[in-house]
Amino acid sequence: MTQGPGAPAAAHPGRPAAAVTASPGIWNIANVLTMVRLLLVPVFVTLLFADGGHDPKWRSVAWASFAIAMITDLFDGELARRKGLVTDFGKIADPIADKAIMGAALIGLSVLGDLPWWITVVILARELGITLMRFWVIRFGVIPASRGGKIKTLTQGIAVGMYVLALTDWLATARAVLMGVAVLLTVGTALDYVGQALRLRREGLAAQRPRG
């Protein structure tokens, strides 16, 4: 019997109708927030270097754009998971957007002479290294984000944001201390992820060995 225009769509053979669900489209609120964060990267860089890069007013505006980007980072992933809006685009674009805005801030601040290059190198090398390591062991399983990793990300964001602002006196000292904590968390969580990756690979290889 042919269905009329108003009839419900037929279920797949052998599958309950309730199990047939449409996958979320690329244009959803979580992906839009990720796109906004990507678009904010060139805006942030332009504002950071405006008028020579050391004008307190422009630095405050640059901080505002950086803060907005960090706020979208807090919400897009959570929205995607809670509302069933996880897409392949989001899985790829979200970490790219995270690293792009943070990398732009670190490199920009080092170019301006406000942040030592060794800090930028340590943080960026860690992010790149952990990303490559995840791909290295992905056939054995996924390394989940740890609580320490989330604290590291939050600490980095606050510390870098404070460096974007033209702070002086005790506030400048406070941001240096916070950045020191962020670097320690960066290295510590990296070692933890390396341990997880090696254990995951070892267990995966053991499971693949033929049992005699």
pLDDT of amino acid 19: 42
| Average pLDDT of the segment spanning 148-155 | 86
How many angstroms separate the CA atoms of 75 and 86, rounded? 13
Q: How confident is the model at residue 87 (pLDDT cuts 50, 70, 90)?
A: low
Q: How confident is the model at residue 81 (pLDDT cuts 50, 70, 90)?
A: low
Given a cut of 60, whether residue 6 has pLDDT beyond it is no
pLDDT digit string, tens, across residues 89-126: 656 667 788 889 999 999 999 999 999 999 999 999 99
* Placement of tokens 């792009």 in the chain: 100
How many angstroms separate the CA atoms of 60 and 66, rounded? 10
Find, among 132, 128, 125, 121, the residue nearest to 197 by Cα. Answer: 132
In sequence order, the 6+-apart residues with CB closer than 8 A to the CB of 167 are 175
pLDDT of amino acid 10: 47
